Structure formats: C-alpha cells, structure tokens
Amino acid sequence: MAFSWNGFDPTFLKEIIKASGIKNADLYINSGDENDLAGCVYNICKYPDRKFIMNYRCIIEQYLILKYKDEVLKICKSLNIVAGNYDQMKTIMTKRALSMDLINAYIAAILSISGSNIPESSYSTFRYTRDLNMAETGIEDVPLRDYQEDAVKAMKKHFIDNDAYGGILVMPTGSGKSRTAAYFLIREMISRGYQILWLAHRHMLIDQAADCFYRYAGLSKIVNPEIKRYRISCISGEHQSMSQAGKHEVIVASIASVCRSKEHLSRILADKVMIVVDEAHHTYAPTYRETIKFIRKCRKNVKLLGLTATPVRANYKDSAELLKIFDNTIVYSIKLKDLIVSGVLATPVFIRKETYEEFEPQISIDEERLIRRYGELPETLVSKIAASNTRNQLIVDEYINNKEKYGKTLIFAMNVLHCRFLCDEFKKRRIKCDVIYNGKKDNKAVIDNFKQNKLDVLINVNIMTEGTDVPDIQTVFITRPTQSETLLMQMIGRGLRGISANGTDKLNIVDFHDKWDVFNKWLDPQWVLGKEDDEEDEKEKPHPRKSNLKKYDWNLCIEIYKSIVFRHLAAKKNVMLPTGWYTLIDKDGELYYMLVFESQLAGLIQMMKEKYFWKDDNNFDGKQALKQYFRGFGDLPKSDELDMLIDNVRNNEEPPIFHSFENRKKIEPYYVAIAAKENGRDIIEYSGEVYDSFPVASEIYNSREEYIMKVCEARIYGNTERIIGQKVEELPLELIPFDRTPFYDLDELVQEVKDEMFGGKFDGLGTITWTDKAYRRYYGIHYGDTHNIMINTVLNSKDVPREVVKYIIYHEMLHYNNMSHDSAFRKLEHEYPDYEKWDHFLDSNMLQFDIKEW
C-alpha cells in the first residue's frame, strides 16, 4: 500500500520519535524538515499496525485523532459509544480498554487522515485475531426467516441429534447462506466445543464470513452461557499466515493458504472440528480433498458442512463423487422460485438482446475441437468476441437508452480485456463506471464504491459470482455465453435480493445473445430458473478456461480494438416477465409454485376458463394443453407443470388460484407498515385485515400471528437489516513483559545444532555472533561471501525457548548451500523437529511481547 507519513502534523511526528527511543532522535526533531520527520517515523513503523497503536496510543489520541472531530465520531460509532455530547464521547473513547476493536478503529482513522489515497475499506479488521470477552458479551439472538429456521433445524437434527459426519446446505444466492450457516455453527457447534474451520477459495469471502462469526457471537451463550473463549482468526495472503494462527475457536481461511501449510493444522486443530466449505461445488478440487483428508487423519471427531447455491444433481459429471465427500446427503435445500414467490428474492425480468453478431465463421479447427469437447469458449475466441467494438457499443447503448430503468447495473464480462474495453466505452459516455477482476489490487475499494452508489456500472470477470453482497443491484448484464449452469445461476443470483431482504422489487436480467448456428447450446437465464425441477439434464462438462489475468500491452490492444469491426444488424429485444404463480400440490403432497410469464398468461386464463370441457377428459394432458392453448410466440409453459395444474383442478373442489406479483406487493410487510402509518391505523388491526383480505398471505406466511409480527418488525426496522453485534465485547490487549537480560551461550547452541542436525560437524562457516542491538525485521542473516551468521540479539532472552533460537541458527546454516527460500530449502528446513511450533512462536508469540527494539 502507498502509505506515507508525509503530511501529518509535525508535532505528532516529533512525539512519536521522542517516545520511540531511536538513536539521535534530537537530530531529527530539531532539523525542522518535515520530510526528515516523516522519514524517521517511517523507519520506526512503515504502516500504522497493531503494535504502533499499542506503543503510541496516548500520543495518537493527544496529538492526532482528537484534532479531527469527524474521525472521533466515526470511531465512537464503530465502538458503539453513545453519550450525551461530543466531549463525553471523547472521554469514553480515550478510557476504553485497548482491544483489537479499538486498534482497528484507530488504524482506520489514521488511514483516513493520511491523505495517501488509501481507502479505509482496503484494511481488513480481521487482519489480526479478534479475542472476544464472552463474560461481557451479551446473549443476543439473530432473527431468521422461516426457511432459514427450517435449515438450522435440519442441520441440528443431522449433525447433533443424528451425529452424522457430512452434508450440504443448498440455498440460492441472496437467500442468506452465510447468515444461516453461521447461526447454526455458533449456536449449536461452538457452544458444544467444536472448532470451526471455514474454508473459502477467495480472499473476499473471508472477511464476510468472519464478520458473521464476530457479530453473532452472542448466539453461543444461548446454549452455553458459561462459554469461556471465543477467538476468530483469518488466514490468507491478506490476513495472518498459518504459522501465526493458534488453536482458536473460529478459523476462516483461504484453501490455498491452508493447503500450502497443512503441517500447521496438526498444531492448530482442536479435538472436535467442524469443517465448512463455502461454495461447496469447489470441493471436488484436489486442494480441498487433500486438506479434508489430512484433517481426518489428524483428528477423529470431524464433521463436514458444504454451502452452495447450485443444486447438486446425481447425473452431472463428478457430482456423484462430490456428494460422496459430503456423505451423499443434502441436509436442506430450498428452490429459487419459492423465494421469488415469497418476496425474499426479486422478481426476475428476463430481457433477451439479440446482437446478430456472427463469430462461427472465424472459429479455427482447434477452437471448434475445444468447444465440442468442453462446452465452453476457448480463450482465443473469447478475446475475439471481447474485441468486437460494434458488440460493445450495443452493450453500452442498451444501458444508455434505458439508464433510468436499469439503474445500478452489474456487468459480467468475458475477460480482462473485455472489462477494460467496456469501461472505456462507458466512461466516454460519462457513465460512472469501474472494473474488478482477479489480481486487481483495489477490488475491495471498487466494490465498496459500488455499494455506496458512487458508481452506476460495475464490470467484472467472475469476481461477483460468489459471496459478494450488494443487495440493491437493479440490473445484471450477461455478456458472455456459457454452458455452465453453476456459473449462470451465480451471475443472475447476484442481483436477486428482494425488498424484504434490503434489495429490489424486480431484477432486470439482460442476456446478450449472439448468432450461433452450430454451437447453439449456450444457456438461457430464464431456462435455468425453470429448470430447477427437471429430472433429466444434459451432462455438465468441465472447461479448461485459464486465468483471465494476463500481461497485455494495453495501447496495442486499443489499436487492434479500433480496427476490428464485425457485421452488425439492428438488434432485437425480447422481454420475459413473470407475472405471478399458481400454488399447486405435487405428487408427494408438497407445495409447488408454478411461475407464470406474461406470454403464457392469456393461454392459462383461457385454459382455466374452459376447465369444465377438459376436467373429465382423461386424454387431456399437458402436451394437449400446449397444442390447444399456447400457439403464439413466446416462452411456453413446461408440459409437466401443466400436467400438475390439470391434476390439481381434477382432484380439488376449488381450482388453484392465480396470484399476481402485484397482489403480493399489497401484502408485503414493508409496504403494509407504511400504509398503516400513513392512514393512522393501528398496525396490528390493520395488518390483520390485510391478511384476511388476501388469500395469498396464508400461502406465504404460516399463520395470521406470524404475518402481524412481520409487519410490526417492518415498522421498527423498515427494509433494513436489524443491527446485530452491539453486545459483542473484546478482551483488552496487553503486551507481555519481556526480559532483555542476555541468557544464552551462542557457541553452545551452535554446537547443539551441529550435533543434532548435521552429525556433529559443519565445515566452512565463518563467525556466528549476536547483533549489537535488537532489530525489527530479521531474526538472523547469513552472509554468502564470508558465511558469517548474525543472530538477532532480541532472541537472547529467557522468554524465548531454547529450541526457537536453535531453529533460527539451523535456518541460517542451511543457507550455506542454498541462499534462496525455494522448495528444496523449505523441505530441509521442515526436517527440524516441531518446526511448526517454533514458526508459530516467532510469527505470533513474539508480537505479544513488550520489546523495546531501539
């Protein structure tokens, strides 16, 4: 990060230098040069980290933060400090115990003051372990929706009551998988002594999960009021390393970090472990399978929970093996259409945009072979489509011409080049736009800008398919053809948050469809929605798509882009809008929602009007109904759904009622609460009348009482999430006293290393000595020209275990034959007994000591 101490108040910088004890501090303080002051503080601490706040808290408060009222108010808000006036808030803040919560708030404030163009959002509040004070943390329940409660009950029955090993939770994107899983894990598993190891494949998913475990911590006290410890550690390239992690109650980690350092698992795993795989469809990858296998070797009492939005079907390639990993069990699942009907998810408006672009004539023999084999576009062809400036202009024009309707729009591009081409075109038209893709350093900040409505359009390559939560997206543009149902479901799911879940009433799904004659099996978003209940599907094939992050000469790409023009005709647009649903009973006696689109409505109305003509005709079925009532253009109902509708008419006294989405809106608790207030009505009486007036209410809500409660909650909270986590308290951080009195005989330690690791002899070494002072960065260094070794004198203390010092000596001696830290070096290094334990001491325990380094 491009952080700099330049620009900070000189008085503040001088006080830091004074307190640091650095040699020749007076020379810097008296120089009068602000650059010298900033440079000196940079040598003390390059970046405001945990130790900087702990060492200089009083100076930070007195000479910096208290001079910025807005920063004080932000800190107090983040720490839930409430007082009668500003002065009281300042007093409470400065007297607050030094917890990780406070440290994170101070770091964010310093970044904000710095003027270094570092967004506060780029700093993870889970960079260090969060240690909660459970004695002071209040018991706090988390409100769940009905289906989320059902999911929790199903998981409790499966994992606790039946003591089962594994299972998958299947919930559509936007339905709150993380919230539901965290609720169950905290209340039912952590409270029973299970350690949670949550595995994700992207950094961006880690903070989101960790935040749930932090804010919902009070749930653990519902089952176990006497719970003692609750620590949350995150492990990834942007958080802590495996060597820094301890045997903590919650570990949220990237699978890459865990897989690379699996040996540390034997040290940090508790006796009882619940492994959670976020986006469980990735579990078939070798990294996940190897890690799970390793954990099961380390511990006997292990359980495994998978989370996914994509239903797993037995006839997909590799799905049988995937299910086998999870004990062949789907613990709970709910269908996308059920959540659309209930209003949890937005009503999708499918807009099919025909581009008439033809790419098949340009397909090479090799590309054709790859398409036929893998069912996906090879990267060479993707780049050709991405570089079509007429196609890109059409995409931009579609947004510009419908800007008011489309509003906040998320675009799924084909690759990095496509992202940048489209972004340039949007910016030329003065649309606030940005891009994100794997490897781009400011992704988190860009997503935050999109959340805060600083952008109209966000273009991405697969980043926003999993885990990222932006509830108020109004439109999704799908500009890339795919045969992967998983990918397509994730793309359209990004914007499906409904009004009752802080999202939107409708979601526009704009599918840009090119002209394909031979390769014409690219999936249609509308088809995927209706496909949930199909029993027979074509096999899903893996595809060999490699990373889209490449080193491009951007200026050259622009020149090529300008020169490529494909044949383009006037584009055609078809709109498919679901207007409502029939509530049916399926053959198993379960509720089934049959979604009805605009193009189908007239045929269904006519069919139901004439039900007395066909009701007793046993030859009349869904296929006959399609021929008789649906002969126009547009999307046709599925014959098996028509069979179910016909069966419900024949076997029930009252025919199924068609419910429109407009009527559903009339019973939406959020709108009913507003209407009661505007009309000056008693909310309980008014909501009861609404429930009695609309039969659809009884189909969506379990009881009159439940509906009235939902309306009352909407009056209190509006369409925003209830704030959870205000009762969470953290333990104060205290540095451990560290004895700097020299303790070890270095020659004696060196000889022990030679005896134990090198058979008693190691020729060619120069001198091995302590450094003259304590250093911050290195514990040891080997000089290749002389083979002299220096060991940091900070380790010469009775508070540092003997084996830790010997481990550093051994490490530096290995550099005699290999100056790099390559895999061969690491293999030899890991031969040192209990090296994981000594790594952990150096990377974690040493940070907890009160060491004066200058």
Cα atoms in the 13 Å half-sphere on the side-chain side of 222:
14
Q: Give just the sign of the alpha carbon dihedral 122, 127, 131, 134.
A: positive
Phi, psi of 170 (to 5 degrees): -110, 110
The answer on pLDDT for 64 being more than 60 is yes
CA distances from residue 617 to 582, 612, 637, 640, 654 in whole angstroms, order as listed? 22, 9, 21, 17, 18
Q: How far apart are CA 306 and CA 735, in angstroms?
A: 39
The answer on pLDDT for 400 being more than 80 is yes
Confidence of residue 510 (pLDDT cuts 50, 70, 90): confident
* SS3 call for 359: coil
Confidence of residue 25 (pLDDT cuts 50, 70, 90): confident
Q: Give the sheet arrangement for strand 591-597, strand by strand.
A: 591-597, 578-585, 658-660
Q: Which of the given ranges, 271-275, 282-286, 628-632, has the highest pLDDT on average?
A: 271-275
Q: What is the dihedral of CA 391, 393, 396, 397, to 10 degrees?
A: -110
Find tokens 């007082």 and name the residue. 83
What does DSSP assign to residue 345?
A: B
Quote the pTM value.
0.80
The answer on pLDDT for 632 being more than 90 is no
Tokens of 458: 């966000």
Count of CB atoms situated within 10 Å of the CB of 339: 24
Please name which of 308, 302, 291 lies closest in space to residue 189, comparing C-alpha atoms.
Answer: 302
Strands 457-460 and 409-412 turn out to be: parallel
CB 490 within 8 A of CB 310: yes
Q: Which residue has the higher pLDDT, 328 or 463?
A: 328
What local confidence, expressed as pLDDT, does residue 759 receive?
94
Q: How far apart are CA 4 and CA 580, in angstroms?
A: 57
Q: How far apart are CA 113 and CA 217, in angstroms?
A: 32
What local confidence, expressed as pLDDT, does residue 317 receive?
60
Q: Give just the sign of the alpha carbon dihedral 125, 130, 135, 138.
A: positive
CB 267 within 8 A of CB 198: no
- Percent of the chain, pLDDT > 70? 82
What local confidence, expressed as pLDDT, does residue 538 receive?
38
Q: How far apart are CA 815 and CA 762, in angstroms?
A: 12
Confidence of residue 314 (pLDDT cuts 50, 70, 90): very low
Q: Which of the given ranges, 570-584, 634-648, 664-678, 747-761, has the highest pLDDT on average?
A: 747-761
CA distances from residue 350 to 391, 409, 488, 509 in whole angstroms, order as listed? 20, 14, 13, 5
What local confidence, expressed as pLDDT, does residue 560 receive?
45
Averaged pLDDT for residues 375-380 = 55
Q: 746-757 and 802-814 are packed helices; what angle lies between their axes, rounded to 10 degrees?
A: 70
Count of CB atoms situated within 10 Å of the CB of 599: 19
Q: How far apart are CA 357 and CA 391, in angstroms?
A: 7
Lowest-pLDDT range of 150-164, 698-712, 739-753: 698-712
CB 295 within 8 A of CB 302: yes
Tokens of 829: 């290094």
The answer on pLDDT for 331 being more than 50 is yes
Q: 416-428 and 554-563 are packed helices; what angle lies between their axes, rounded to 10 degrees?
A: 70
Tokens of 147: 């289906």
Beta partners for 233? 251
Q: In the structure, how many helices (H) and strands (E) does the chain have?
A: 38, 23
Cα atoms in the 13 Å half-sphere on the side-chain side of 750:
19
CB 234 within 8 A of CB 126: yes
What local confidence, expressed as pLDDT, does residue 216 receive?
94
Q: Please, what is the end-to-end C-alpha distance for the chain in angstroms?
A: 25
Phi, psi of 823 (to 5 degrees): -65, -35
Q: Which of the given ranges, 124-128, 466-470, 549-553, has the highest pLDDT on average?
A: 124-128
Please name which of 352, 430, 359 lies closest in space to residue 390, comparing C-alpha atoms.
Answer: 359
Please work out, in degrees rounded to the nearest 5, the angle formed at the alpha carbon of residue 702 by the alpha carbons of 701 and 707. 50
SS (H, E, C) 509-549: EEEEEEECCCCCCCCCHHHHHHHHHCCCCCCCCCCCCCCCC
Over the chain, what is the mean pLDDT?
Answer: 83
CB 74 within 8 A of CB 120: no
